[in-house]
């Protein structure tokens, strides 16, 4: 399925002016990292030298990296930024961090000028910043207080200045959370993935202030979901308290956008916590470095077909799921035989009885394997469609099941790309 989307001086102490462009002055210098340029450069270069460059084929879409003081999280952050070495085709890094100091309902994009560190100025990609803002001008705008003290973007810059000294940035601070925050961030990330010369850097710290063993357990759960690119388990973990992370909307949106993009892989580069650095394991903060790489051309444009055997297996899964749920209120665990139904896809399940509609529910986003999507949507169509009473066991054998599988949605620029009778449109 393709997608058609119609869709200055006020900074007071935190800015100066150069060539009529504002300069955001460093707020974390001397606290989160050394203020002396030579000391800072030496620290960053030493950390990058010890980090490992992972050789992978494909385009680097995104990095997840921590944002604590460099002496604590710097060695982990270096593992992420080492992956940018030699990638001269990357023109801009969009750095997305949570708001630690100011509460606001929105996403603040720094529009123009420069961010400054002891290593020099980093130019804002004003054209890309404007493009991001146009996605939703009501919720995406420049909110100066969000950037004034915030360290989540700033602490990443010395690494970026070292590995890609010519790269521009777009600093983004997230104040919008929940479903609304996830949805708008997913739109932003999906748009950014269209730019081959842009990398997303998600600034994230993991669990905070737990004993060492507890922190490791929480952080492993989070990183497992992230590396499986599984927004469902990640969201469930956050809701249940099994995952603690300080930028959950950003992570959830990144996972969803990556899955929608096409064939992607997430790789854990390093995990550590503050206890590994200081030796004090009574109360620690967790740090993870992850890279997300697109295989092939990406974008989900490739033809996707199901064999007749795979279609029959999906129909069996749908019917068995309904029957099991009606009997025992649970969905069975399936081990699919056909590889193609293990691919993440959206799907709709339609139930008919005597040729008449009896229920229809689906999910459009490719956030779980197709066989799991079908199992869940089959149960939902049988029991949760508000237009009909729940299906009963007595009538199940008379129910005809139809499954519509959706290929990943893609933004298009020309309506002529839509093939009538083949493509669906989401506006």
- The DSSP result for 57-116, as a single string, is SSEEEEEEE--S-HHHHHHHHHHHHHTTTT-TT--EEEEEEE-SS---SSEEE--SSEEE
Is the pLDDT score of 9 beyond 80? no
Least confident of 42-51, 62-71, 296-305, 315-324: 296-305
Q: H or E stretch including 266?
A: strand 264-273
- pTM metric for this prediction: 0.71
Distance CA 222, CA 231 (A): 10
Position 109 scores a pLDDT of 98
Distance CA 211, CA 47 (A): 26
pLDDT category at 363 given cuts 50, 70, 90 is confident
The sign one gets for the Cα dihedral 29, 33, 36, 38 is: negative
Answer whether 313's CB lies under 8 Å from 282's CB.
no
Q: What angle do CA 335, 337, 340 make, to 5 degrees?
A: 105
Report residue 98: phi and psi, to 5°. Answer: -80, 160
Position 149 scores a pLDDT of 94
Position 419 scores a pLDDT of 59
Q: Which of the two residues, 393 and 4, has the higher pLDDT score?
A: 393
Position 81 scores a pLDDT of 98
326 alpha-carbon distance from chain centroid: 35
Is the pLDDT score of 29 beyond 90? yes
Distance CA 309, CA 312 (A): 5
Selection from 315, 353, 350, 348 nearest residue 334 by Cα? 315
Domains along the sequence of the chain with CATH? 9-294 (3.40.830.10), 308-406 (3.30.700.20)
Is the pLDDT score of 256 beyond 50? yes
Average pLDDT, integer, range 88-113: 95
Q: What percent of the chain has pLDDT over 70?
A: 89
DSSP reduced 3-state for 354: coil
Answer whether 94's CB lies under 8 Å from 198's CB.
yes
Distance CA 197, CA 99 (A): 26
pLDDT digits (tens, 9 = 90+) for 387-410: 999 999 999 999 999 999 987 666
pLDDT category at 416 given cuts 50, 70, 90 is low
User: Hey, what are 357's tokens?
Assistant: 């509609």
Is the pLDDT score of 268 beyond 90? yes
Average pLDDT, integer, range 209-215: 97
Distance CA 1, CA 13 (A): 50
Is the pLDDT score of 15 beyond 80? no
The sign one gets for the Cα dihedral 74, 218, 260, 153 is: negative
pLDDT category at 344 given cuts 50, 70, 90 is confident
Which strand ranges, in their side-by-side order, compose the sheet holding 356-363? 356-363, 346-353, 399-406
Is the pLDDT score of 19 beyond 70? no
219 alpha-carbon distance from chain centroid: 17
Q: Which of the two residues, 57 and 130, has the higher pLDDT score?
A: 130
DSSP per residue, 373-395: HHHHHHHHHHHT-TTSPPP-HHH
pLDDT category at 357 given cuts 50, 70, 90 is very high
Position 58 scores a pLDDT of 86
Position 342 scores a pLDDT of 87
For the chain, what is the mean pLDDT?
89
Selection from 108, 144, 109 nearest residue 130 by Cα? 109
């Amino acid at each position: 399925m393709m997608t058609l989307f119609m869709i200055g001086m006020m900074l007071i102490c935190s800015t100066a002016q150069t060539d009529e462009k504002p300069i955001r002055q460093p707020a974390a210098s001397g606290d989160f990292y050394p203020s002396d340029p030579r000391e800072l450069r030496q620290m960053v270069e030493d950390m990058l030298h010890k980090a490992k460059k992972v050789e992978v084929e494909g385009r680097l879409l995104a990095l997840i990296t921590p944002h604590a003081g460099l002496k604590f999280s710097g060695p982990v952050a270096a593992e992420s930024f080492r992956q940018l070495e030699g990638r001269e085709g990357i023109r801009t890094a969009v750095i997305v961090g949570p708001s630690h100091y100011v509460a606001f309902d929105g996403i603040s994009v720094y529009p123009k000028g420069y961010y400054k560190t002891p290593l020099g100025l980093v130019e804002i990609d004003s054209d890309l910043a404007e493009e991001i803002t146009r996605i939703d001008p009501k919720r995406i705008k420049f909110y100066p207080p969000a950037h004034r003290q915030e360290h989540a973007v700033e602490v990443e810059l010395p690494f970026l200045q070292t590995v890609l000294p010519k790269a521009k940035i777009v600093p983004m601070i997230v104040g919008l959370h929940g479903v609304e925050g996830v949805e708008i961030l997913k739109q932003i990330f999906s748009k950014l993935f269209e730019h081959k010369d842009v990398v997303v850097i998600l600034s994230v710290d993991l669990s905070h202030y737990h004993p060492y063993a507890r922190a490791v357990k929480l952080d492993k759960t989070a990183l497992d979901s992230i590396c499986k690119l599984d927004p469902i388990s990640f969201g469930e973990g956050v809701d249940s308290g099994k995952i603690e992370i300080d930028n959950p909307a950003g992570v959830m949106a990144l996972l969803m956008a990556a899955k929608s993009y096409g064939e992607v892989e997430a790789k854990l580069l390093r995990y550590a916590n503050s206890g590994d650095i200081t030796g004090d394991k009574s109360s620690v903060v967790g740090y993870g470095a992850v890279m997300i790489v697109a295989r092939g051309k990406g974008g989900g444009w490739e033809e996707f077909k199901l064999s007749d055997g795979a279609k029959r297996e999906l129909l069996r899964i749908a019917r068995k799921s309904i029957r099991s749920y009606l009997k025992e209120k649970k969905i069975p665990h399936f081990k699919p035989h056909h590889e193609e139904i293990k691919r993440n896809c959206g799907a709709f399940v339609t139930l008919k009885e005597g040729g008449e509609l009896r229920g229809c529910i689906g999910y459009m986003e490719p956030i779980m394997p197709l066989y799991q999507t079908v199992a869940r949507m089959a149960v939902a169509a049988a029991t949760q469609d508000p237009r009909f009473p729940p299906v009963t066991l007595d009538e199940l054998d008379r129910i005809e099941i139809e499954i519509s599988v959706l290929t990943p949605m893609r933004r298009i620029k020309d309506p002529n790309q839509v093939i009538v009778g083949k493509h669906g449109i989401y506006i």
